[in-house]
Structure formats: structure tokens, C-alpha cells
Amino acid sequence: MTERRWGLTRPTEADIIKGGFSTPWDAPFIPPFPFRFRNCEILTVFYRTDPAATAFLTPPPVRSSGDVVAIHLYRMNDPDWIGPYHECNIMFGAEVAGRAGAYSPYLFLGSDGGVSHGREIHGQPKKYANPSLELRGDLIVGKVERNGIDVVTVTTPYKQRQADPAEMRRHFDFDTNLNLKAIDHIDGRPAIRQITSRRLTEVKVHGCWSGPATVELRPNAQAPVFRLPVLDPIEAFFWKADFTLVSGEIIHDYLGSK
């Protein structure tokens, strides 16, 4: 017999083992797929770095490709479940098992639910921080603050040249995001060791503008983005979009391959 209280249905064992289940079960923390992001504002900045640095930060069997880094600063204005927040994804071109994409060594965001979802489901190395995206007169400014230090500051002029969103893909395919997922059992044994992949779907770009970029990175041992040094800022894009986050794929299973 179904047991209900406070307008809730008590889960069965079958409910618990289904995909998308999250605790606490009467106020779940992790959103199930799919969930929609609406009216997002994004500053994407590309810069050239030391290819030895990207290679060092890439877990085998993933291989870094090229010497270009992308910093995405998001103002998530209206996402399902999580509510408004800011996020920063730092990535570079990479390839694994014949698939090209972008590997993320660092992600920062100001949402505890977003941190938990990214780490538990995608395996993204998310940490809590204070990213921001501001319009300051004729300048667009993106920042990441952690531990009282502005570890990332990127800028571009405000909407000087309308651009085709396809121009952003000329450096690498950042739609395919590769991540290293690592979760242990409670007894310390490795439970999950995977390279995962996800793509955004139902992407609708409402506007895109490009311009010159500046990139400043400051050292922080807990947010060490300075390990991808800025050799040459390339370009920046400010764009507005809606998209849907859906389930992804396991590209490589370290434990299953043994």
C-alpha cells in the first residue's frame, strides 16, 4: 500500500535504485535529467597557453590538443531546480577514444546544488567560489573570487561586433565536455573511475558578439588556474542562450577495463 504524508509518497526500494534518485528523499538535492537553463548570459574568452601545462593537467588516456584555453563565465538567470547562480568552466581541447572535445581541469560556481550535481553525476571537479559577470558601462567583466582572491579576471568591450555563434568553435569543440569522475566506496575502495562526456542539447542562441579580450590569473593553491599561464589573449564572445542539460556517456571505465 502506498504510504503518503505531508503531500509526499514514501519511496520503495524500487524507487531508491532508479536513476535520478537523490537524498534527502523528501527534499531531493540533485536534479534529475533533463533540466532546462533559460536566459543565460555567457562571456567566453580564449587565450593561448603553454601546451606542456595542458598536457600535465590531462588524465590519461585523455590527450590534450593544441594550446588554447577557454574560460566560460556564466550568469545562469533561470535554471530549473537550482535557481539563479554564476559559474565558471575552464577548459582546453582534448581527445579520447577517437572523440574530440574539451577537458575541464577547473570549474567554480556559487551554488551548493550545482557543485553537488556536477561532482556526483558528471564527475566535474567543481568547487564553491564566487564567480560574477557584470556589465560596467562599455566593458563586460567576468571574475572568479575564492578565498578573498580574484583568481580570474576577464574583460571584453560591450557588444562591439555581432558574431556568428559558430565562430566560437574554431578553436575546439567545447560542446563535448570531458571529465574525470572519481568516487570511492565508504570503505575506501574505488567505486567509480571514469572519463565521462556530456553535451548540451536544445541550444538556442539569442545573440552573440565578439571583441578583443584581456585575461588575468592570480595564484591560489585551492584554485590553481595560474597553472595555465596566459601567453596571448585571442578573442572573447558575449552570448545569450537557452539550453538543456541531459544525461551523458561513459567514455572510458578505468575499473572495467582491468
Question: 31-253 has which fold?
Answer: Acetoacetate decarboxylase-like (2.40.400)
Active site residue 126: yes
E strands of 63-189, at which residues? 63-76, 78-79, 85-96, 99-109, 126-128, 130-136, 139-146, 149-157, 161-162, 177-184
Structural domain spans, the chain: 31-253
Could you read off the pLDDT tens digit of each residue along the chain, which spans 258 residues?
Answer: 678 888 888 888 898 888 888 888 888 888 888 999 999 999 999 999 999 999 999 999 999 999 999 999 999 999 999 999 999 999 999 999 988 999 999 999 999 999 999 999 999 999 999 999 999 999 999 999 999 999 999 999 999 999 999 999 999 999 899 999 999 999 999 999 999 999 889 999 999 999 999 999 999 999 999 999 999 999 999 999 999 999 999 999 999 955
- Which residue of the set 126, 127, 204, 258 is catalytic? 126
Q: Which among 108, 112, 148, 165 has a CA at the least distance from the CA of 132? A: 108
pTM over 0.75: yes
